[in-house]
Each structure stands twice: as structure tokens, then as C-alpha cells.
Chains A and B, each alone.
Chain A
Amino acid sequence: MKKGKITITITIGLTFLILTAVIFIQFKTINQTDITSLENMREDELRTEISNFKQKSEEISKQIEETNLKIAEYEETISTDKEASELLEKELEQQNNLLGKNDVKGSGVIITLTDTKEQKITAQDLRELLNQLKLAGAEAISINGQRIVYDSYLVDIGDTYISVNGEGIVSPYEVKAIGNPTYLESGLSKKQYGYIDTKLEEGKDVVLTRQDNITINKYNGDLNMEYAT
């Protein structure tokens, strides 16, 4: 073999060595490079990325503004809601007062009915008294501490006691009524056919006193309805 041919052979071998080496390096590079990572991007790609990010940040700041506006709106509504809830609370208290679920205070009258030897006070007497009081504008009534509410009842249980709201009470019966004291008093003590006169004539012991500061306790039973909806 000639010397020149050997040189040529080795050179061609080396050439192909370089070529394949470079090709495989390129394969590896392309395989392992994450095109999306910033270090591997070209300048123009980076520029487009930057402009994209700028746009995005602008959009986001716009969104932030909108959200802040919304938050302000919500805060406003919350404050108005507070007013509304205060109003509602007031209303609820009023309703509870009407229903008898709260202790109430005010001026009014106290009527005390006591059994005498001849005459016993019956539930009928008390019912009449309640009617008369309501007619005279009583706003809250209790008998021996039992608040009279919309479903209160007064029933004689034999000769022994009277049942109010399921609780037994006995003489003396103390009926508290809050309302305009003058109206209440005059409503009960009309001459001849007023309630007090009538009862006194029947021989029953009825005493009426005006009082400025009467406390009537709340109804302590259940006010839930089960069948009426």
C-alpha cells in the first residue's frame, strides 16, 4: 500500500469521525434542550416573550382595578346591609314584644282579685277582666306572673285552681296590665256596669292600683307552630 493512500484513508476516517461526533452532539443538544426555558431562547423570541408578559401584566392590573372597584361596591352594600340588619333587629324586637317573648316595662294598672268566703274568683271573671283590659288598650298583660300571649287560655280546674298556659294559679290573682293607665282605670271603673262595680256587687274582692313602673315577664313557654304553616 502506498503511503499517500494510507494518509487519505486516515483523513477520511477522521473526517467521518468529526461529522458523526458533531451530528450526535447536535442530536443530544436538541433532545435535551428545553426550548421554552429562557436561557435557550434567541433574542427575538425573548423580545416577543417580554411583550407578551407586558400585555399580560397590563391585563392583570386592569383586572385588579376592576376587582378593587367591585370590593368597594361590596363594602358599600355591606354597610347598607348593616343598616338593614339593624332595622331588622329593631323590628324583630318589636315583634317579640308583641308576641310576649321579651320582658317589658311601663306604666299601667295592677288589679288584685281575692277569693272571699262567699265568692270564689272563677276563670270567667279573669277572662272578662282580660277582655275589658284589652278593650281599654292594654299592651301587655300577665296573671300571677303568667304572660298572656295569643294562645293563652284560662280554664277552671275543678274548684281548686285556675290553669293559665298550663300552669295552675290560686287566689289572690294579681293581674298586671301595661297601657295608658287612665284609659285602663276608667275602662274598668265605670259606674254601675263597669267591671269593678259589677264584681263588687257580686261580692267579689277586686282592688285596682295605678302604678308607674310595672314589669311584665316574658312568656316562658314554646310559641312554635306545628300544623299551621
Chain B
Amino acid sequence: MVIIAIVIGCIVGALIGLNAPIISYTYSGYLAIAIIAALDSVFGGITSVLKGNFDFKVFITGFFGNAILSILLTWLGVKLNVDIYLAAIVVFVGRMFTNLAIIRRYYIEKWTKKTVKEETKNENEKKTMGEG
């Protein structure tokens, strides 16, 4: 159910995005940081789902809060003449890699367990056949 909602949301969002007017190049930098923050939240959410401690409120606040905060920090960095957006990118992308690694390990473990189970099952079957 949630996955269907996600797919529909993605399709409609893509259509809206393709038909929306382009924004000024000056602000596209802020938007890029917001996108990175949001993606980080998404991967974090997936990880927490897999771990079983997914909290909807945490996810939504993280999604919008991170995006808005990163925009504000970037803006502050521009005012202070410090490239704060670099720090934001490092943190968010680093966390994205960590989360992706966790997701990868989870599925690898799952797959390994499955194959091991099947093997033991097959062996058991062979044994029974041999005995029979």
C-alpha cells in the first residue's frame, strides 16, 4: 500500500516537475542542497524500516526539517562567505552511503540465510531419500 503510494507520488511528481517553470540559477544551488537532504532522509527512512524502528514523525520532520535547515545553512554560508553547503553535502552524502551500506548488508544477509536454508533442506531431502 505504501509502495503504491510512493510509485504514484513519484510519477505525478515527475509530471509536475517536467511541466513546472524553471527557477533562477541562483536558487538552484539551494534547491540542490535541499534535494540531497531529502534523499538522505529517504534512505534513512528505508534503513529504519528495515531495522524495524521506523517512526513516521521522525521521518517527516527529518525530511522537511533537514531540507529547510540545509537551505538556511547554505544561505548563511553565502552571507558569511564560507562554503557551508560543502559540509552539508559531505554529511548528507556520507550518511546516504552509510544507510545504503546497511540496506545492502540487510539484503545480503537475507539472501544468504535463504540459500543456507534451501541447502540444508536439500541435504535433508537427500538423506531421507538415501535412507529410503
Mark A residues whose CB is within 8 Å of B: 1, 5, 8-30, 32-33, 35, 39-42
Residue-wise, chain B 1-42 has the 8 Å CB interface mask toward A (1 for contact) of 110011011101110111010111110100110110011001
Q: Give Cα A42 to B39, complex, Å.
A: 26
Which size class do B's interface residues fall under? 20 to 34
A116 to chain B, nearest CB (A): 115
Closest 7 pairs (CB-CB, A-B): A24-B17, A20-B13, A13-B5, A40-B25, A16-B9, A13-B9, A17-B9
Residues of A with C-beta under 8 A to B1 = 1, 5, 9
**Contact in complex: A26, B31 (CB < 8 Å):** yes
A22 engages B9 (CB within 8 Å): no
Most chain B CB within 10 A, of A9, A19, A35, is at: A19
Whether the Cβ atoms of B20 and A25 lie closer than 8 Å is yes
Q: Taking the nearest CB of chain A, how far is it from the CB of B21, in angstroms?
A: 8
- Give the shortest distance, in Å, between B49 (CB) and chain A (any CB): 11
Given contacts A16-B13, A20-B14, A28-B18, contact A33 B28 (CB under 8 A): yes
Residues on the A chain within 8 Å of B63, using CB? 15, 19
Taking the nearest CB of chain B, how far is it from the CB of A44, in angstroms? 9
A10's closest neighbor in chain B, by CB? B5
| Distance in angstroms between the alpha carbons of A13 and B12 in the assembled complex | 10
Per the bound structure, the CA–CA distance linking A26 and B27 in Å amounts to: 10
Select A19's contact among B5, B28, B42, beta carbons within 8 Å.
Answer: B42
Which B residues touch A30, using CB under 8 A? 28
User: Once bound together, how far apart are the Cα atoms of A111 and B79, in whole Å?
Assistant: 111
Q: What are 18 A-B contacts defined by CB distance under 8 Å?
A: A5-B1, A8-B2, A10-B5, A11-B60, A14-B9, A17-B9, A17-B10, A19-B13, A19-B39, A20-B10, A22-B17, A22-B34, A24-B17, A28-B17, A28-B18, A29-B23, A33-B25, A41-B25
Number of A-B contacts (CB under 8 A): 97
CA gap between A143 and B2 in the complex, in Å: 127
B17 to A21, Cβ gap below 8 A? yes
Chain A residue contacts of B39, Cβ below 8 A = 19
A-side contacts of B16, CB under 8 Å: 17, 21, 24
Query: Which residues B110-127 have CB closer than 8 A to chain A?
Result: none
* Complex Cα gap A17–B23 (Å): 18
Flag if B56 contacts A8 (CB, 8 Å).
yes
**Complex Cα gap A166–B86 (Å):** 103
- Please, which residue of chain A has its CB at the minimum distance from the CB of B63? A15
Chain B neighbourhood of A40, CB < 8 A? 24-26
Interface contact B26-A42, CB-CB below 8 Å: yes
Q: A19-B42, A20-B13, A33-B28 are in contact. Are A13 and B35 (CB under 8 A)?
A: no
B3 smallest CB distance to A (angstroms): 9
A35 is contacted by which of B5, B9, B25 (Cβ under 8 Å)?
Answer: B25
